[in-house]
Amino acid sequence: MTQTATAKSPLLKKERDFWYDNAKAILITAVVVGHLANGIFSTSTAWVVALQKFIYVFHMPAFMIISGRFAKKRIERGDWVTVINKLIVPYVVLQTLMLLLYSATGYASTSSFSYFKPLFGLWYFFTIAAYSLISPYIVKFKWALPLSLIVGLGVGFLPNVFYGGFHRIFCFYPFFLFGYYTYGMSFGFCKKIWFRIISVAVIVATGLFVLKYERDVSFELLCMNKVYSFIAKDVDTTLIGAFLMNVGRYIVGFLFFFFILGVTPSKKTFFSYIGTYSSYVYALHLFFIVFLRAVDADYDVLRILTNKWLLLVYCFSGVPMAFILASKPVRKLTRFFVEPNFDIKKIVQKLTEK
């Protein structure tokens, strides 16, 4: 009996936090559905536009908070080696492959290509890498989180966004830092039945609100990739009005992190593995979306989606797609560029030995 207990306790790896794996699974599936809905054809279909806007209300703020939470130890160690191996190198590989896909399909101009200008969707990898590198220095400041909020709100008053989409680096940073600072908090109240009921009610109510007032909800505000002057024109308001809307956007973004936890199962489920391997789903679906849009631009293959039921099936095909892209066979086939076998420490050691 003693031997069995010994074998089962200290030698086993710490069990994964399936609550957050499940949350990531829900969020990454929402990302895929949102990108499918965000095609050119959808602009004339109100409910599809409402669907993508609803998804953008919560998916990136919650993802950023979870990313900050899981980056806590890496940041405290100042682990730049892992950042290079697991974030920067995969980003460079994916950016290069995306450039090749752009060139092969003619999806978009590649004349202004730069590794500091992330192509479609890859800004997330770039941004998390940037956060992981700067945060060991930022968190030394006592008021880092409120200062990041001030900066995130303040950059909207600039005349133009920063080069390469860097605007979002400033705007989403408060969410990332919130995740970092709340690493030790369990948020157990989110598992209470009363909070789960509230979460379902709020999410449904928000969806219905966005569906009804879709034209008054700024997509650029939700993406946090535009300055206030642009948003003001988009929704016919003033700069101060756009600023106040962005304040509300932050409040809603933080709250929805808890509401997402509130609707997420805390135990291992049949879809937990999607969250565990969410990086595969995120990276691979981007290439599929770019290819699909390029084919549609040339051959109008999505013209059949005039029926609302076909359109519904198309948008929510992102659900089975998430299961497929996170599956073991797909991971084995694509690991060489999603998680390339690269170790900067070993390379430096070999170079110094010579």
Query: Is 101 within 8 Å of 44 (Cβ atoms)?
Result: no
For residue 62, what pLDDT is reported? 96
- pLDDT the model gives residue 3: 43
Write down the pLDDT at residue 15: 67
Give the Å distances, CA to CA, from 207 to 56, 174, 176, 194: 11, 25, 25, 20
H helix count then E strand count, the chain: 19, 0
Which residues have a Cβ under 8 Å from the Cβ of 207 and sit 6 or more positions away? 54
Q: State the pLDDT at residue 100.
A: 93
User: Does residue 157 contact residue 227 with C-beta atoms inside 8 Å?
Assistant: yes
Show pLDDT as tens, one digit a residue, over the chain (354 residues): 434 444 444 444 456 789 999 999 999 999 999 999 886 555 568 888 899 999 999 999 999 999 999 999 999 988 888 899 999 999 999 999 999 999 998 877 777 788 888 988 899 999 999 999 999 999 998 899 999 999 999 999 998 888 777 888 999 999 999 999 999 899 999 999 999 999 999 999 999 999 999 888 898 899 998 999 999 988 889 999 999 999 999 999 999 999 999 999 999 999 999 999 999 999 999 999 999 988 888 888 787 777 788 888 999 999 999 999 999 999 999 999 999 988 787 776 776 765
pLDDT (0 to 100) of residue 354: 58
- For residue 29, which of 293, 289, 321 has the smallest C-alpha distance? 321
Q: How much helix, strand and coil, in percent to the nearest 5, is found in the chain?
A: 75, 0, 25
| Domain positions in the chain | 19-353
So what's the pLDDT on residue 7? 43
| Encoded amino acid at 316, one letter | F
Where do the H-state alpha helices sit in 182-238? 193-212, 219-223, 228-235
**What's the pLDDT tens digit per position in 157-185?**
998 888 777 888 999 999 999 999 999 89
pTM of structure: 0.91
